[in-house]
Structure 1
């Protein structure tokens, strides 16, 4: 069995982190963030090639900066290669209604032509994959071959980060749809509550 942080999660998180690292004018430094109520589900078709089978994150709430423990498993029945489009839809709960956050400075509900390019920007080709992927010999660049993927329970440190002013308190849900050509390959929806000081 191959091991990796499931491809759908990797691509979705890469898009989110790339959004945060590329945005500037709407960012502010926050000293402490708590992320709680983490929940996820597959939102694609029952026969979607890429699916997440398990994802666990602890503690709840997760403190940023701070330590987090995560494990994940999933599979893809097709090779995921460039160009790998990702559509991200970000919503915030306002007065009991879910409001779509528009795409501002590549953050929010945005379309990315190729998530493989995002991964290459975060981790330049030829550079070792970050831990714990490197220790396990796990890939962090396209193409991701078809197969079963799993990340054993692993510890990470989440550093300080800059957040956009509107992403500091509230309930959020983000949906990422991964596609190749004209076909949807996988869909993941994640919900969290964010509180910052």
Structure 2
């Protein structure tokens, strides 16, 4: 689940909901930005080597396309055959389709093909240790801090709200794909490919 979440966060598409309250997304104060208006064509697949301990069993995002700002419904089920503990590292490879070619987008201001070391520390900064996990994670027993115990976790169809989001001017309309790889001390734990289209005003 962490790998998929990071893939969406790379595009600033994380569902901005915590405990029923609407979060403001992280927005860089830069000129020449544009408002994201629609996300469509969402698809995904596991891309591991068949031995990854963490895999997504199912994932659904509705409607398609998603209007922004607007509501969406997400359901997901994941399974882990091992405990996931610090240090966790996430590597994102983000590409845009130009003509018939996929062109890699470099890491710019922590958006694009970026590497995130110390994922457990990032989670602790977002949700301080000792505080309850936000809803709906709390209600469905989904952890939000390391270590993540092995087992099966599922989120039934749940409504989220995506607020207005800004994108850098270089992240223009088009088709994108993101590969997110999660690892621990050099050992791959999970790999997920996400494909989607962005439309902005």
Q: Same fold (TM over 0.5)?
A: yes
Match of 2:200 in 1: 196
Match of 1:8 in 2: 3
Consecutive unaligned residues in structure 1, runs of 5 or more: 1-5
- In the superposition, the TM-score normalised over structure 2's length comes to 0.86
Task: Give the CA deviation at 1:13.
Answer: 4.1
Answer yes or no: is the 8 Å Cα contact 1:129–1:140 preserved in 2. Answer: yes
Task: Give the CA deviation at 1:27.
Answer: 6.8
Provide the C-alpha distance between the structure 1 equivalents of 2:10 and 2:119, rounded to a whole number of angstroms.
7
- In the superposition, the TM-score normalised over structure 1's length comes to 0.87
Answer yes or no: is the 8 Å Cα contact 1:18–1:122 preserved in 2. Answer: no
SS of the counterpart of 1:116? helix
Match of 1:134 in 2: 138
Question: What is the alpha-carbon root mean square deviation over aligned residues?
Answer: 2.2
Provide the C-alpha distance between the structure 2 equivalents of 1:18 and 1:126, rounded to a whole number of angstroms.
27
Q: Does 111-120 or 8-17 show the bigger shift?
A: 8-17
Match of 1:105 in 2: 109
Match of 2:94 in 1: 90
- In terms of fraction of residues, the more helix-rich structure is 1
> Between Structure 1 and Structure 2, how many residues are aligned?
191
CA change 1:173–1:113 in 2 (3 A) is same
Task: Give the CA deviation at 1:166.
Answer: 2.0
Consecutive unaligned residues in structure 2, runs of 5 or more: 15-24
Answer yes or no: is the 8 Å Cα contact 1:52–1:74 preserved in 2. Answer: yes
